[in-house]
Structure 1
Amino acid sequence: MPKVLVLYHSTYGHLETMAEAVAEGARSVEGATVDIKRVAETVPDELARASGYKMDQEAPIATVDDLGNYDGVIVGAGTRFGTASAQMRNFWDQSGGSWQKGQLVGKVGSAFTSTATQHGGQETTLIGLIQTLLHHGMVVAGLPYAWPGQSRIDEMTGGSPYGATTITGGDGSRQPSENELEGARWQGRYAAETAKKLIG
């Protein structure tokens, strides 16, 4: 049965919430085991607190040694100037040993993100994360248009064929909408189902 890691970095809690929804979707696949872990914060503690970072996140800190233990890795990181947050990039920059051993080759990779605005680099961030997953030899599961919420135009909403997204607002006050959370659940389920098929 598939083992899935939901690996995220969340500054203000939006991606923590999305990660929980992704995990919920993955756990709906019969037999799936799902862990939620986060990457280490690289911003000094004093500065993080002064900047209002959400410091009380329950997920344990992941290490690159964890990666090889899973059949699927679903990665969530916020957007910084059109690419993934430095904290997530730092984590993957340490994964050379895993890459050399081919630990993720043929396993499922997937990505989700958030931005402050509707056009704040969601797709470029996802593509950047997907490129990293492909370099590790992973089979990528996105968020296809088979999920009906992808095509909604009756509300402002995240969502991309490359992965689930949420929009936080410039001041971070907007929380993930039900449509965005449903997209995250759909993607988590899809990734876990794909991993289950691959391991046969």
Structure 2
Amino acid sequence: MAVKVHIVFYSLYTHVYQLAQAVAEGAKEAGAEVTLAQVPELLSPEILEKMGATEAKKSFAHVPIADPQALAEADAVLLGTPTRFGAAAASMQAFMDATGGLWAQGKLVGKVGGAFTSTATQHGGQETTLVHMHTFFYHHGMVVAGVPYAAKELSNLDEITGGTPYGASTIAGTRGERTPTANELAIARYQGRHTAQIAAKLAGK
């Protein structure tokens, strides 16, 4: 029986959504059953319009809204969010806060967790955001999986690129003008594959 990998993301201009798709591809390559979902948007339509995010949001409007309780069904959980001052965006934080019942019952203990992110600039808080996300997994008693340096793309010095040992990442640009590169997407696929493989070993599958 295949392991179940739940990928939950928050995206504003599609950057994290694109990473989520790549993470999903990697998990599927490892034979996992993948569920992709997005957290509810907290910003009003008026604010999204002023931020120029309305059209971008339409591109993944078909992705279902995540149910925090559904995480209990997964063998591995991967969360993706853009950074907000070095931590998770409010929408993702609200989703994590809604898992208190799961925490009280120990429903996520022993599962595998991982995170991925985007920032506007090269040093805009990628690693702090990912480590911040890791604390969520630790409090739930989960096993945290990052991206080992077996992923050769982490050592690519030929270009400016995201990607950290703590999780996949991309640089969006200060106006959201930059899209994830082939190198960044390869790291995201590696993370999905690696996480699914660890989950399979822990589950004895």
Query: What is the TM-score normalised by the length of structure 2?
Result: 0.95
Tell me, in whole angstroms, the C-alpha distance in 2 between the residues paired with 1:146 and 1:199: 23
Runs of 4+ in 1 over 2 A off after TM superposition: none
54-63 or 83-92, which deviates more: 54-63
The DSSP-based 3-state class of the residue aligned with 2:57 is coil
Partner of 1:17: 18
Give a deviation string over 1:66-89, Cα, whole Å, max 9, x none: 110100001100001111101100
Cα distance, 1:65 vs structure 2: 1.1
- Residue in 1 aligned with 2:71? 67
Match of 1:125 in 2: 129
Tell me how far 1:55 sits from its aligned partner.
2.2
What secondary structure is seen at the aligned counterpart in 2 of 1:55? helix
Q: Which runs of 5+ in 2 are unaligned?
A: none
Shift of 1:50: 2.6
Amino acid at match of 1:22: V
Identity %, equivalent residues = 50
How far has the Cα of 1:94 moved from its partner?
1.1
Secondary structure of the corresponding residue to residue 170 of structure 2: strand
Contact 1:49/1:55, CA 8 A, preserved across alignment: no
Cα deviation digits, residues 52-109 of structure 1 (max 9, x gap): 2222112100011111010000110000111110110011011100101111100000
State the partner residue of 2:3.
2
Deviation of residue 129 (structure 1)? 0.3
SS of aligned partner of 1:4: strand
| Paired position in structure 2 for 1:44 | 44
User: How many residues were matched structurally?
Assistant: 199
Q: Does 1:92 align with 2:103?
A: no
Cα shift at 1:138: 0.7
Whether the 8 Å CA contact 1:65–1:98 is kept in 2: the answer is yes
How far apart, in 2, do the equivalents of 1:167 and 1:29 lie?
27
Distance in 2 between residues matched to 1:157 and 1:78, nearest whole Å? 16
Instruction: Output aligned runs, 1:104-183, within 5 Å.
Output: 104-183=108-187
The aligned amino acid for 1:21 is: A
Query: What's the Cα RMSD here?
Result: 0.8
Alpha-carbon distance in 2 for matches of 1:166, 1:173:
12
Gaps of 5+ in 1: none
Aligned position for 1:188:
192
Any conservation in 2 of the 1:117–1:169 contact (CA below 8 Å)?
yes
Aligned mates of 1:94, 1:153 — CA distance in 2: 40
Give the Cα separation in 2 of the matches to 1:163 and 1:47.
30
The one-letter amino acid paired with 1:36 is L
In the alignment, which residue of structure 2 is the partner of 1:55? Answer: 57
Whole-angstrom distance in 1 between the partners of 2:99 and 2:109: 13
